[in-house]
Structure 1
Amino acid sequence: MASNRAPGPDNIPVEFYQVCWDIVKNDIMALFRHFHQGTLDVQRLNYGIITLLPKLSGADKIQQFRPICLLRCPYKLITKVLDRRVSVCMLTS
């Protein structure tokens, strides 16, 4: 996943997972295991906050803002893995 991005509503950026992988990998892998077994409550992960970021300093019109959705990093990890797996299937068909 790309670094230097806005953290999600949990305030944990991607860099945390990259730097602390040895510490969090067992928990993340357990999350994926529960997801694949169908025992993960995805609704608890699929939580985002939509916010507006100014495109320029002193923005005062709606057109001068861009919307972003801040998602929790574990949810992004699951969707990224699923996206890559599906894209491989799409390329081979």
Structure 2
Amino acid sequence: MSKAPTYVTAPDGVRIAADVAGSGPLVLFVHGFPELRQSWQRLTAASVAAGYRTAAIDVRGYATATGPKRSRPIALRRSSPISPRSPMRSRPANA
């Protein structure tokens, strides 16, 4: 998979990079954080050798794929205060 990636443009303008190879039934490889589409090279090579068509993509905002345009900054807010009985609150060892 040393050739240049194929780019797919979504309706919202986000460009997704994909390494596409082989022929036959499609196997889609999608990485998780913090990987890239190249993480699948060994599996895609084996899948192509087994007669499958493969597409390994970079998800939005990773490597050469673009991220969505933000109209405003994202703010994280707590939905409710932590109560004294909340399991999230630390408790003394002797309680």
Structure of greater relative contact order (alpha carbons < 8 Å, 6+ residues apart): 1
Report if TM-score (shorter chain) is over 0.5: no
TM-score of the superposed pair, with normalisation by structure 1: 0.22
* Higher alpha-carbon Rg: 2
Structure with bigger strand share is: 2
